[in-house]
Structure 1
Amino acid sequence: MSGPAERHHRRADARRNNGAIVDAALRLLDAQPDASLDAIASAAGVTRQTVYAHFPSREHLLAAVVDRITDEAVAAMDAAEPDTGPAAEALIRVLRAGSGIAGRHPVLVQQIASVPVSPQADQERHAPIADRISRVIRRGQASGEFDKDLPAEWLAAVTIKIGHAAGEEVDAGRMPPAEAADALRTVLLRALRPQS
């Protein structure tokens, strides 16, 4: 092989290695938050040098893991039919779909949430999620289901914060998941309801 074919083969290998490393990091860091990069490399079937070639630091690898979880959550939210039926029901479906993905990686999500980030980085991290929530809220505002006096983006930010609070209650063992989901639904629908 030479020329373009060889470059294409190297790029394909690099994509496979990148995916294998992120897959291994997802599995290991969720089970063992302090797993070493050597352990992640071994689980991915690559060398430590290959891990560092793709991710110069643990923080870079963790950012790629966040991106993967976000991509999975966005796909699940899109599959929850956010544009179908009453907006209130669609919003709850979308939130359940997103939290279902987070629920598959509880230790890792908790670890990610504990890493201090700037407000801008936090906003960027949540942007794809917030976009989906905002879209449903705007639809609810247009139909009269949700308050039109507040910006949809602000209501989406509030929704995310309340969702995090529900998750934290479950993680701390203060509420069972079903009770937290019911409380989240009740509080959100009260907060979004038009004021009379």
Structure 2
Amino acid sequence: MPPSARNRRADARRSREAILDAATRVLDAEPDAGLGAVAVAAGVTRQTVYAHFPSREKLLLAVAERLTDRTAAAMDAADLDAGPAADALVRLLDAAAREAERHPVLTRRISTVPVGPEADRDRHAPVADRIRQVIERGRRDGEFDDRLPVGWLVAATITLAHAASEERQAGRMDGTSAGDALRTSLLRLLGAS
């Protein structure tokens, strides 16, 4: 590949990253901001934004993917293989909640972007995989009940985590109470010993 082509690709990657960084900041501060505001914050033209993301929804989905990757990395840093599975699950959920709290407005906005069931499943896959890993370990070690299907337990965990976040964001529960309710509900659902 000629050096000029490599330079163009490197420039395109830098532009894309700058756009995603700017979109995360701008849309978290002002969820209805237009792509022009994102372009200004990224230091690129509107045309450059559209070249990478042909619509606002595509940009939001790319931001969602990036935030999901960051959440998965935070979960991995929680050392999911250490200690009892119940403790690992709590650490995993706490790590995910901390990441979601970094961009609360944007996280809520992304959840309203209409996607089909397959796209939603794909979006949650990195998080679901880590939850599944901990639940399966807990079942193997006899910490968790094995009567309910693992897939159901993973889906219920994600749904309960979203519910705790929504309660906290709506001001119906403070962060500590929402976290405690989530942990208690999950451990009961899992039949934790």
Deviation at 1:172, TM superposition (A): 1.0
CA contact (8 A) 2:86 2:192 kept: no
2:63 to 47, 62, 65: 65
Unaligned runs of 5+ residues in structure 1 are none
Alignment CA distance shift 1:42-1:69 (3 Å): same
Aligned Cα RMSD in Å? 1.2
Deviations 1:48-76 (A, max 9, x none): 11001100111110111001100100000
The runs of 4+ residues in structure 1 deviating greater than 4 Å are: none
So what's the TM-score if we normalise by structure 2?
0.97
- Aligned mates of 2:173, 2:143 — CA distance in 1: 29
What is aligned with 2:168?
Answer: 170
Alignment of 1:1-196 (within 5 A): 4-193=2-191
Percent identity at matched positions? 61
CA contact (8 A) 2:29 2:105 kept: yes
- Aligned mates of 1:98, 1:194 — CA distance in 2: 21
Unaligned runs of 5+ residues in structure 2 are none
Aligned residues: 193
- Aligned mates of 1:19, 1:149 — CA distance in 2: 45
Alignment-mate amino acid for residue 80 of structure 1: A
SS of aligned partner of 1:145: coil
So what's the TM-score if we normalise by structure 1?
0.96
